[in-house]
Chains A and B, each alone.
Chain A
């Protein structure tokens, strides 16, 4: 690199723009508020007499972790297009459809596991590809078109399953994967950890991830710095589809089959976690580790509340309240630091 310092500017170029010294502290508080809250909640339920018997045990933590594996995978699926400024509402439905296709192929056709896994991925990749083409080539609104895809898949699931759960002939290897541990750690967590690191790498450590974020900020400017916006956007939806399929496979492994559920119950907690995650680590931006904290916080709190004797309705109420409060705090902090 040749450095040409022909126009080295006067020293005051770097003169501070004069804001408070309190900024770094505020920044730190903003980045780690969610993590801090997680610690507080964890300590609280460990100490609380009503839940302290079960909450801090290895068994509970295992259950907790593997039950959130699917949510986190769907959250990661939603995150990739969101980083580029597109909603993907179909991730939950894609997971459900992948699960149904996979279980159906085992139950009704007796196909080997690897074929069924490929079929599950085929569902996600196909739906993702069509979503991407609709949004990035034909310029349809991502919110609407993925909602349509989700509804359509829901109908397909209903048609295929006749509302019945599929649980015959599920591969024992798959069930083992969903229910057993390696060294005390649920096996599904290894897949989730791999996916999380992979998506972190993709979004934060590659030019592709930078392109996604540039598109999310300003698609017109992204085009004018040479980013292939169509390819990048379609890619984001395809990756989302693949992750949603992975979530579906994990789901099948966890429950040992597939239900006739259409997946809408899965997408909302996942989206909530992504938005919750956007208030932490890199505030104001959708980010992977923030999302992990988001999923974990909600899971830990709900588990603690349930063990402490709270009723079923507490789960969604807590989800919603946590999201509202987190967004409130982060927009308040955002205003303060601006």
Chain B
């Protein structure tokens, strides 16, 4: 067993050439090339349907590529021959966006499902061996959890780490096996701080010689973590460049392509109109307590976009849920336009003009099997009822909204689940904006949304504010908050503190306050 099998330093640990894949009439991948250098991180960037996820699926055998070849650790194989088993044997490991974890099973069981259960001589499961092994792996990956913890009880962030650790679990047993790790949108559901931790872990892996590819939507992330960047558009690779020389604007224009002009959304302050806040008070929280919130106060004015930052578990979502009435506070009051809201009454909050775009789109907002039309009219069904459902009218309105919010869909009768993440989110946003809400609550509004769709969503949010809607955005993406908000508050110890107002909002400033909270959290009791 030689300590290192890399006798001839290969330039590439993985090189995929001329990969093409067609689905029906759509060329999902067209002669795409991807190279991974040993010990480096390659970020795969692209909009929805650009092919970045497709190439990952081709390399891992989820899809069979139509053409192309793959050089892996000096071996050449035809891309058409890659099946999940072949890919696994060749050392390609993947963590998909859907982490494929079993929520009701323990972490150790999840590891064993993907590999095997160690057994005692009698053939029963040796839990002690399994738990010991998994505890070791968890420690290596700095995951603060026990092997016996249920996966369902973990935060989304920890789940991702567990899935990654699980994908790489046999590295523990065969340190010589060279592996490439492909991560499909690993940060889509992760808050900022956890993203940083994840990246730290990934950088650590890379420095140990691990080759990595990350599929992601977030530009700033890419610039922070990647060594190389590969940009996909319409199934082609339109740019492969070292991260060191790339900048944000260049990447954005590569992503958008010549036909799609991205008008950058200026920051709130640059938008000219004076600081809102002089407007009438739209929503007011008075001493609201709902764990983890304790005596939270907040005032938001008409036309104002207020960002809510805070650590994981600081109560960002709780704050929005209390206003919307889907979480009953233990004490305190919410006033909308001066009138108190009945606690825990969603219909009442909606009638008062409150709208909520929840964090977990698929769990809390989507009607996946029904049409885009029905999804977009879910909160206004009664308007289309005149003894009969006025299907034609409903359809026409749905089409108008699809155009207005740039929802890419073949037909509004298409099932919701056929849409890409960005378009799904636009449907939910359109569902609420059509009600002309007076208070719009957005929880992680651009999670799992590509860079271009993100700008379109920002513009829609900005337009709503210009029309006088009060907007509260809870987000772990500090770039997003800095770009979008007139004012940012940070949740600390259950209270609203750390105000950043007009002119002082930068991603760094937000991060500093959020992190300083974590440092000072202990003494506060």
**A20 with B403: in contact, given A6-B463, A206-B389 (CB under 8 Å)?**
no
B350 close to A (CB within 8 Å) = yes
Minimum CB–CB distance for B367 against chain A, Å: 4
Stretch from A10-18, A149-157, A249-257 that touches the partner: A10-18
Contacts of B456 in A (CB 8 A): 9
Minimum CB–CB distance for B15 against chain A, Å: 29
Taken together as a complex, chains A and B put the C-alpha atoms of A178 and B121 apart, in Å, by 70
Contacts of A21 in B (CB 8 A): 25
**A7 with B460: in contact, given A20-B24, A225-B431 (CB under 8 Å)?**
yes
Select one of A19, A20, A223 contacting B346, CB under 8 A. Answer: A223
Interface pair B406/A9, CB less than 8 Å apart: yes
- Which residues from 1 to 43 on chain A have a C-beta closer than 8 Å to any C-beta of chain B? 3-10, 12-21
Stretch from B93-101, B380-388, B493-501 that touches the partner: B380-388
- Which residues from 218 to 246 on chain A have a C-beta closer than 8 Å to any C-beta of chain B? 218, 220-226, 228
Taken together as a complex, chains A and B put the C-alpha atoms of A12 and B47 apart, in Å, by 15
Interface pair A9/B403, CB less than 8 Å apart: yes
A223, A225, A228 — which one has the most chain B CB atoms within 10 A of its CB? A225
A217 close to B (CB within 8 Å) = yes
Taken together as a complex, chains A and B put the C-alpha atoms of A10 and B24 apart, in Å, by 26
Interface pair B405/A9, CB less than 8 Å apart: yes
Select one of A7, A20, A205, A217 contacting B367, CB under 8 A. Answer: A217
A210 close to B (CB within 8 Å) = yes
Select one of A7, A221, A225 contacting B463, CB under 8 A. Answer: A7
Instruction: Give the residue name and chain of the B residue nearest to A1 (CB).
Output: B397
Minimum CB–CB distance for A119 against chain B, Å: 33
Taken together as a complex, chains A and B put the C-alpha atoms of A207 and B374 apart, in Å, by 11
A284 close to B (CB within 8 Å) = yes
Contacts of B385 in A (CB 8 A): 206-207
Minimum CB–CB distance for A336 against chain B, Å: 10
Stretch from B38-46, B128-136, B358-366, B506-514 that touches the partner: B358-366
Instruction: Give the residue name and chain of the B residue nearest to A284 (CB).
Output: B369
Interface pair B404/A9, CB less than 8 Å apart: yes
Taken together as a complex, chains A and B put the C-alpha atoms of A225 and B382 apart, in Å, by 12
Select one of B26, B382, B405 contacting A207, CB under 8 A. Answer: B382
Interface pair A7/B459, CB less than 8 Å apart: yes
B410 close to A (CB within 8 Å) = yes
Interface pair B365/A224, CB less than 8 Å apart: yes
Contacts of A338 in B (CB 8 A): 418
Contacts of B358 in A (CB 8 A): 224
A interface residues, how many (CB within 8 angstroms): 39
Taken together as a complex, chains A and B put the C-alpha atoms of A70 and B374 apart, in Å, by 33
Minimum CB–CB distance for B78 against chain A, Å: 26
Contacts of B6 in A (CB 8 A): none
By a beta-carbon cutoff of 8 Å, the part of chain A in contact with chain B is 3-10, 12-21, 204-207, 210-211, 213-214, 217-218, 220-226, 228, 284-285, 338
Minimum CB–CB distance for B7 against chain A, Å: 47
Interface pair B406/A13, CB less than 8 Å apart: yes
Contacts of A20 in B (CB 8 A): 24-25
Contacts of A228 in B (CB 8 A): 347
Interface pair A207/B406, CB less than 8 Å apart: no
Minimum CB–CB distance for A312 against chain B, Å: 39
A10, A13, A21, A284 — which one has the most chain B CB atoms within 10 A of its CB? A13
Interface pair B379/A225, CB less than 8 Å apart: yes
Taken together as a complex, chains A and B put the C-alpha atoms of A10 and B410 apart, in Å, by 15
Interface pair B24/A218, CB less than 8 Å apart: no
Select one of A7, A13, A19, A221 contacting B402, CB under 8 A. Answer: A13
Minimum CB–CB distance for B352 against chain A, Å: 12
A5, A19, A285, A338 — which one has the most chain B CB atoms within 10 A of its CB? A19
**A225 with B405: in contact, given A6-B463, A205-B388, A206-B385 (CB under 8 Å)?**
no
Interface pair A224/B364, CB less than 8 Å apart: yes
Contacts of B400 in A (CB 8 A): 3
Instruction: Give the residue name and chain of the B residue nearest to A204 (CB).
Output: B389
Interface pair A205/B368, CB less than 8 Å apart: no
Select one of B381, B387, B389, B405 contacting A7, CB under 8 A. Answer: B405
B8 close to A (CB within 8 Å) = no
Interface pair A210/B389, CB less than 8 Å apart: yes
Taken together as a complex, chains A and B put the C-alpha atoms of A7 and B458 apart, in Å, by 11
B254 close to A (CB within 8 Å) = no
Taken together as a complex, chains A and B put the C-alpha atoms of A19 and B369 apart, in Å, by 19
Minimum CB–CB distance for A163 against chain B, Å: 45
- Which residues from 215 to 267 on chain B have a C-beta closer than 8 Å to any C-beta of chain A? 259-260
Contacts of A214 in B (CB 8 A): 367, 370, 374, 378
Seed contacts A214-B374, A217-B367, A222-B367; 8 additional CB < 8 Å A-B pairs = A5-B404, A9-B405, A19-B24, A19-B25, A204-B389, A207-B381, A221-B365, A221-B366
**A10 with B381: in contact, given A19-B25, A20-B24, A226-B347 (CB under 8 Å)?**
no
Taken together as a complex, chains A and B put the C-alpha atoms of A211 and B402 apart, in Å, by 22
Interface pair B367/A18, CB less than 8 Å apart: no
Question: Can you list 26 contacts pairing A with B, beta carbon distance less than 8 Å?
Answer: A3-B400, A7-B463, A8-B403, A10-B260, A12-B260, A14-B408, A14-B409, A17-B49, A17-B408, A17-B410, A20-B24, A205-B388, A207-B382, A213-B374, A214-B378, A218-B363, A218-B367, A224-B324, A225-B378, A225-B431, A226-B347, A226-B350, A226-B379, A285-B369, A285-B370, A338-B418
